Amino acid sequence: MTQSKSSLHYGWLVVFGGFLTQIILMCGVQFVPILMAPIKQSLELSNTSAGTIVSVFGLCYAGCSFIWGYLADRAGARTAVSLAGLVLGIAVILFGLLADSFLKAVLIIALVGFGAAGVYSATIPKLIGAWFHPSKRGRAMSTITAGGVLTGAAFGIVLPQLAKAYGWQTAAVILGVLAIICTVVIYLVVRNKPSEKGLIPVGTPADQVVKAAPAMKDAGFKDVLKMKVTWHVSSMFIFWQVAYMTATAFVAVSFVNAGFTAVQGGLAVTIYNLCQLIGQQIWGPLSDRLERKTVICIAGIWWTAATLGYMFIYGSTLNAMYILIGVMGVGMGMVPVILASFSDYFPTEVGGSGAGVVSTMGLVGRFFGPMLAGYAADATGSITGAFGVGAAAMLLASLVAFSLPSLKKQAAVSVGGESAK
């Protein structure tokens, strides 16, 4: 096996496939929140019912990751991602065609969430772990995750216009078709490991002696759950999810509570998301030079400091709040580094199951984070209390990340989908 003789290694086409998974994911994640107003009016939903639909999606999205991770280990990441994308696309189309009541909307959105669970964090780390040497995984994941930010920003502009012109039902069908088209391209382009193309992982040093590790026999959930690193990485991910979901839930409303308009609050969310894109291009490549656990720690402390700064200047001037929100966004751009670490800490044979289990564990932080933050806001009488919870959780996530095992002490070599420690 050799490196690609062309200027473009086939692994970057796999990254293109990963970029497309972000478009698919946003088709499932974004369409209900963005189109909630017309959906709520059309189905005559109460605020509680509307919130329940979003919550059901979140539970299925985070809670079913382990299923797709297991499938990725058994049938290959290409098959798992393709099936998940197909399920998501069909479910979004069905939502547009059949969701004419609260019950139908809940049932179909659960299917959308189930498909979304297999499109990203449960499967992509395994794919990137197979195709990229550890020294290149950060950049690869940063390129992939940029797709989610850009697609989310585009959908925020385009979807309301589609719904206004053709109705939310038609807009949903269009998104479902888009997801299916992207899925077909992924299936045609992506391969599970470089050996299928007679190649070795991107970035493998020319003078490195490469030996394929023996496969783990009957590897699965039991093996993953017995690994100490599973619980170590999961605890970090849970704390991180608390901080992530706190910001997601309270950035916009914090501006409204400070006396600014909903439009200005919406712009704050846009600034936060776009600055995450900047952070992704900083932290991802940096994690290819420093240890990923160190970069997660640095980015986490950055976000914590920025959040404390936001709490300190909260309610002062609009521009000052925008600046601090942007700095927070740069810190939260650590997402690709976290996902790349999944590839580093789990042998390729259980890479899908490992990433899936950790992603599912993250449901704890995803579910309880906004609840704890909201309680803190009520208890302190200020929305800054919510951000205090996020800052504390991120600091804990940073400390746990820093205590992860040093990968420099492991002779980890990935070869065509094989991994050795």
Kindly state whether residues 174 and 126 are assigned to the same domain: yes
* Angle between the N-to-C axes of helices 124-131 and 137-166, in degrees from 0 to 180, rounded to the nearest 10: 140
275: pLDDT strictly greater than 60: yes
Quote the pLDDT of residue 307. Answer: 97
Query: Where residue 242 sits, what CATH number does that domain have?
Result: 1.20.1250.20
In this structure, the answer to whether residues 231 and 347 fall within a common structural domain is yes
pLDDT at 412 over 70: no
Q: Is residue 106 part of a domain?
A: yes
Q: What are phi and psi of 123, to 5 degrees?
A: -125, -40
315 occurs within a structural domain: yes
How many domains would you assign to the chain? Answer: 2
Q: Kindly state whether residues 152 and 49 are assigned to the same domain.
A: yes
CB 330 within 8 A of CB 301: no
User: CA torsion 300→303→309→312, rounded to 10°?
Assistant: -90
Q: Minimum mean pLDDT among 85-94, 158-167, 174-183: which range?
A: 158-167
How many other C-beta atoms are found inside a 10 Å radius of the C-beta of residue 281? Answer: 16
Separation of alpha carbons 100 and 81, rounded Å: 29
- The verdict on residue 411 lying in a domain is no
Q: Are residues 164 and 236 in the same domain?
A: no
pTM, two decimals, is 0.81
**Do 91 and 158 belong to one domain?**
yes
> Poorest-confidence range of 133-137, 153-157, 392-396?
153-157
Q: Which of 46-60, 62-76, 84-98 has the lowest mean pLDDT?
A: 46-60
Domain that holds residue 261: 221-403
pLDDT tens digit sequence for 173-228:
999 999 999 999 999 999 999 988 888 888 887 666 444 334 445 556 677 888 89
- Asked if the structure places residue 373 within a domain, the reply is yes
Query: Per the domain annotation, does 414 fall within a domain?
Result: no
When pLDDT is cut at 50, 70 and 90, the band that residue 47 belongs to is: confident
More confident residue, 262 or 340: 340
At residue 324, does pLDDT exceed 90?
Answer: yes
Q: Does 325 or 267 have the greater pLDDT score?
A: 325
Residues 184, 243: one domain? no
- Longest distance between any two alpha carbons in the chain, whole Å: 66
Same domain, 248 and 184: no
Q: Which range is least confidently modeled, 202-211, 245-254, 402-411?
A: 202-211
d(CA 167, CA 343): 42
CA–CA separation, 204 and 418 (whole Å): 13
Same domain, 189 and 227: no
Where residue 5 falls among pLDDT bands split at 50, 70, 90? low
In a domain, 297, yes or no: yes
In a domain, 412, yes or no: no
The tokens 């193309």 sit on which residue? 197
Mean pLDDT (the chain) is: 86
Looking at the predicted structure, is the pLDDT value of residue 333 above 50?
A: yes
Say if 212 falls within a structural domain: no
- Among residues 160, 181, 197, the one where a domain terminates is 197
| Residue 314's pLDDT band (cuts 50, 70, 90) | very high
Contact 363, 62 (CB under 8 A): yes
C-beta neighbour count of 143 within 10 angstroms: 20
Q: Please indicate whether residue 45 or residue 21 has the higher confidence score (pLDDT).
A: 21
Mean pLDDT along residues 130-138 = 89
Over 90: is that where the pLDDT of 353 sits? no
Q: Judge if 230 and 177 occupy the same domain.
A: no
